Amino acid sequence: MTMFVDMRTYTLYNGNQAKFLKLYEEEGMEVQLRILGHMVGYYHTDIGPLNQIVHMWGYQSMDERWEKRKALQASPEWTAYAVQMRPLVQQIENRILVPAPFFKVPPAV
């Protein structure tokens, strides 16, 4: 089965990047890794549109993605983190990326 990637882009309000990354590292990352599992990458922009956080998660199916995202949203730890994180975020976008036939998604971080 082909793995696909859920790429999520958070556009932050100006000046909140360091605060967002610190909050995520201290309160969001562990629960997200535990529930979602396969982190493909976690980045912030440096050139082009600024104040953006881009993170990618690998899944074997849309059903797996749905179930894991539902479990994340139901987690009290994630809810507590999200209450602090949401005021920093201006916009959220997500895209589903399907790999080219010759590309193998990297192993989980």
pLDDT in tens, 51-94: 999 999 999 999 999 999 999 999 999 999 999 999 999 999 99
pLDDT on residue 103: 81
- Nearest-10 crossing angle of helices 76-85, 29-36: 130
**At 2, is the pLDDT very low, low, confident or very high (cuts 50, 70, 90)?**
low
Would you call 93 helix, strand, or coil by DSSP? strand
48: left (phi over 0), alpha (psi -120 to 50) or beta: left
- The model carries a pTM of 0.88
Q: Write down all domains in the chain, each with its CATH number in brackets.
A: 13-97 (3.30.70.100)
pLDDT on residue 53: 98
Distance CA 63, CA 82 (A): 23
DSSP string, 48-78: SS-SEEEEEEEES-HHHHHHHHHHHHH-HHH
